[in-house]
Structure 1
Amino acid sequence: MKNIIFGIHPIINMLKTNPFSFKKIFILNSKKKSTKIKELFFYVKKYKICICKVTKKWLDNKTNNSMHQGCMGFLNKLTYFKEKNIMDIISFSKKILILILDRITDPHNLGACIRSAVAFDVNMIILPKKYSAKINATVKKVSCGTSDNIPIIFVKNLVNIIKFLKSLNIFIIGTDNNLINNTIYNYKLKYPICLIMGSENKGIKSIIKNNCDILLSIPTFNNVNSLNVSVATSIFLFEINRQNYIF
């Protein structure tokens, strides 16, 4: 399921931003021509993308019975970024905002984090090769196709990458739900920044915390001690953007 994307909104979003990534698009043969379907056909015709009408059984089989909404796209082989590309991305960036995701194994959470990262102009996302969800069709659907709009790099050792980023004077912000006074609203956060988010249950590893410049939390109320990682990621990224831009 690496080279497919399904769902009407993710497909239209990718048609708008990266139409030449499609090899073919498959549409349910009984699909009614709604406004969104008409929009999809507009881009298909504009970029001369091959389209095939198929049965629901065929779509169910190809998407592992996922919520495909009657359409699926087959993508060209994707080009993945590697560790050696990190310095290149930093060199060509006007401002530095990097997101590291530690132990995010749920593809729905990963997809939502990617969508927020693109929305808040993150330069790249770095993940560990082990204990991380991979970029599959579910991630693409939840991210609304934005996973192809940002460099995503899987690395062998997060600690080594963090040390490398620190050597470039990039400020490393770790997150910790157990902190009371060290909240994101109490500190002035200026670029260059690397934000590290951990899983909802385990957070970021202790060894990673020890290599952060600061640990911050989001203040919550009514005995709610933690937030979904994608929600927390959005809050952190928004606050960093808010402090560095005038809206």
Structure 2
Amino acid sequence: MPGSSQRKGAIRKKPRGNPTAGSGGRVRRGLEGKGPTPKAEERTKHPAHKRAKAKERAKERSGGRRPERRDVGESTVEWVYGRNPVVEALRAGVPVSALYVAEGTERDARLREALLIAVEHGISLLEVPRTEMDRLTSHGAHQGVAVQIPAYEYAHPDDLLTRAYDAGEVPLIVALDGVTDPRNLGAITRSAAAFGAHGVLVPERRTASMTASAWKTSAGAAARIPVARATNLNRALKSYKDAGLLIAGLDMGGEVELPDLQAATEPLVLVVGSEGKGLARLVRENCDIIVSIPMTSATESLNAGIATGVALYEISRRRS
């Protein structure tokens, strides 16, 4: 429409920006690099940054202490429940972290004894709802009472030698091969402590562990003598052999009977196999000598715990 150019605002008289400047400078500045790409942990929206922050907060809560290393799949605690098992565990000196009692549980002589032992030894007493007790014991027959036991802290195989040398004594170590019953492990630990052994060695797999049952059978000896765990039993035996110890396997049909074992006074590792299968082939090949216990023909074999006790007694008698 004629004359519309005279309307206010119809024509921009002063262009924005710098009309004399070309786009070259601005484009070059936009193409300039911004430095190296920050690490993933430094980018606030990256998942790695969030994980790093969470790790820092966990470290602050733990006071800077590194978390304990635990084997994959290994439980950090164990539960013993039921009135008789709980009282027996407390009597045997099993290291109990806490005693749990379900609300409304009727108090009888066994529960009163458990409470008395807990108070005498400074064990924490916790009263929890019955539903919580069911959850903790996986709905087992807890009878309203349970105790929590921490995971056993195994020694290193070298610690057993160090213990003997620090005491100025001739090393005597008991190694177990294929002993899967924790009660046998507890009985062997008790015999080892009674007859002067410096520790018990167990492999990491296919063997009994220091559970509450083993603790109870050891009658407190597990607190006085270390139990070490080896990733590979044969490598541990070879290491002991390199350190100058004689490896003696306890098995049927041995070349030497126990009363004739002249090496009893030397640095010695006594290797005990399972009652049914005896020593494994590779373990037997790693032994310097195979020793047997003389028995009447009416008895085929002895329980691993009993056989170890007999052998350790004879070795101790010779050494004394």
Q: Could you tell me which of 93, 104, 120 is aligned with 1:14?
A: 93
Contact 2:99–2:124 (CA under 8 A) maintained in structure 1: yes
Q: Displacement of 1:140 after TM fit?
A: 2.4
Bigger relative contact order, structure 1 or 2, given CA contacts below 8 A and separation 6+?
1
Alignment match, 1:217? 292
State how far apart, in whole Å, the 2-side matches of 1:119 and 1:65 are: 36
| Paired residues of 1:7 and 1:141 also in contact (CA < 8 A) | no
Task: Please show how residues 18-57 of structure 1 align to structure 2 within 5 Å.
Answer: 21-26=95-100, 29-30=105-106, 32-33=108-109, 38=113, 43-52=117-126
Change (3 A) 1:73 1:199: same
Q: After the TM superposition, which residues 50-199 of structure 1 pair with which residues of structure 2 at under 5 Å, given as runs?
A: 50-52=124-126, 58=133, 62=137, 72-76=146-150, 78-83=152-157, 85-95=159-169, 96-179=171-254, 182-188=256-262, 189-199=264-274
Shift, 1:43, TM fit: 4.7
Structural mapping, 1:199-210, within 5 Å: 199-210=274-285
TM-superposed deviation, 1:122: 2.1
Normalized against structure 1, the TM-score is what? 0.77
Write the deviation string for residues 162-193 of structure 1: whole angstroms up to 9, x where unpaired: 122122222221112123x6210122311422
Q: In the alignment, is the contact (CA less than 8 A) between 1:7 and 1:69 conserved in 2?
A: no
| Cα distance in 1 for residues equivalent to 2:112 and 2:229 | 35
- TM superposition shift of 1:202: 1.2
Judged with a 3 Å threshold, the aligned counterparts in structure 2 of structure 1 residues 130 and 49 are, in CA distance, closer, same or farther, namely closer
Could you tell me how far 1:132 is from its partner in structure 2?
Answer: 0.9
1:22 partner SS: coil
Letter in 2 for 1:13: A
The AA in structure 2 aligned to 1:33 is: A
Number of aligned residues: 235
Unaligned ranges ≥5, structure 1: 16-20
Moved more, 162-171 or 21-30: 21-30
CA contact (8 A) 1:97 1:195 kept: yes
Greater CA drift, 78-87 or 155-164: 78-87
The Cα RMSD (Å) is: 3.3
| TM-score of the two chains, using structure 2 as the length reference | 0.61
Q: 1:214: Cα distance to partner? A: 1.7
Alignment partner of 1:230: what SS? helix
Assess if the C-alpha contact under 8 Å between 2:160 and 2:173 holds in 1: no
Structure 2 equivalent of residue 18 of structure 1: none
User: 1:130-177: per-residue Cα shift (whole Å, max 9, x none)?
Assistant: 221222223223333433432212212222211221222222211121
Q: Distance in 2 between matches of 1:105 and 1:183?
A: 26
The question of whether the paired residues in 1 share the 8 Å contact of 2:155 and 2:228 is answered with: yes
Structure 2 CA distance for aligned equivalents of residues 64 and 150 of structure 1? 35
Quick check: 2:92–2:216 contact (8 Å CA) kept in 1?
no
Structure 1 residues 86 and 117: CA distance shift in structure 2, 3 A: closer
Q: Which runs of 5+ in 2 are unaligned?
A: 1-74
Q: 1:27 to 1:185 in 2, by over 3 A?
A: farther
Percent identical: 26
CA contact (8 A) 1:169 1:192 kept: yes
Q: Contact 1:124 / 1:153 at 8 angstroms: preserved in 2?
A: yes
The residue matched to 1:197 in structure 2 has which SS?
Answer: strand
Residue 235 of structure 1 corresponds to 310
Structure number, greater radius of gyration: 2
Shift of 1:81: 1.8
Pick closer, same or farther for the CA change 1:8–1:216 going to 2, 3 Å. Answer: same
